Amino acid sequence: MRKIFITGIGTGVGKTIVSAIITEALQADYWKPLQTGYAEGKDSDVIRNLISNKKTKIHPEAFCLSKPASPFAAAEEEGIKIEIKNIVIPETDNILVIEGAGGLMVPINEDELMIDMIEQWNAEVVLVSQNYLGSINHTMLSCMALADRNINVLGIVYNGEDNLMAERSILSFCNYPVIGRIKPENIFTPERIIAYGKEFSL
């Protein structure tokens, strides 16, 4: 099974929208193994509302935690311990798009990070970046962490306003292609998700 893991340089940079675009473009299955802050809405519900093809299956979360925090903090508050070895990957004959929680160094427990999940599952990565003050540092650190573990990175998606100088700085050190760009939009529709998918280099 081909696994594509959508991660970001931080929280709130657009992982769910990118997951929807890639899921729709590939008519892949979607899975968010660790959902925190579900009272504010589940990412799988966002995906469900943005996907229009009939092939995609949205798999249930392995853990749904109420606190909007790292999986480690949210699970500890509910008296739960999450371990990667105990998370069962959904069985499917389709490509599986996996959306992470937060960034690469988000803790899952005392010993495991989100990047450990990617490595253990031998998943390919799409890194979502966003141009803001400090994003060059966050993007480069994410690229370095992925390169250090020899994780296969399909490329970077930029979400938001363009900052070509920032991107040039990043790409001069990070040897990953830009596979897509998302412009600021007030609302995303299934039609826009399809249109973006046609522009992505997947």
pTM: 0.96
Catalytic residue among 15, 32, 85, 183: 32
Q: State the average pLDDT over residues 147-158.
A: 97
- Cα three-residue angle 57-43-68, rounded to 5 degrees: 145
Of all helices (H) and strands (E), which one includes residue 15? helix 15-26
Is residue 188's pLDDT more than 80?
A: yes
- Has 32 been annotated as catalytic? yes
- Asked whether 196 and 180 are in contact (CB, 8 A), the reply is yes
- Measured in whole angstroms, the distance separating CA 200 from the mean position of its chain's CA atoms is 15
Summarize pLDDT for 38-53 with one digit per residue, the tens: 877 899 999 999 999 9
Longest CA–CA span in the chain (Å) reads 46
Q: Tokens 């959508």 label which residue?
A: 6
Q: Please state which CATH class domain 20-199 belongs to.
A: alpha beta
Q: Return mean pLDDT, the chain.
A: 95
Which residue ranges make up each domain of the chain? 20-199
**pLDDT (average), residues 164-174:** 90
Residue 113, amino acid: L
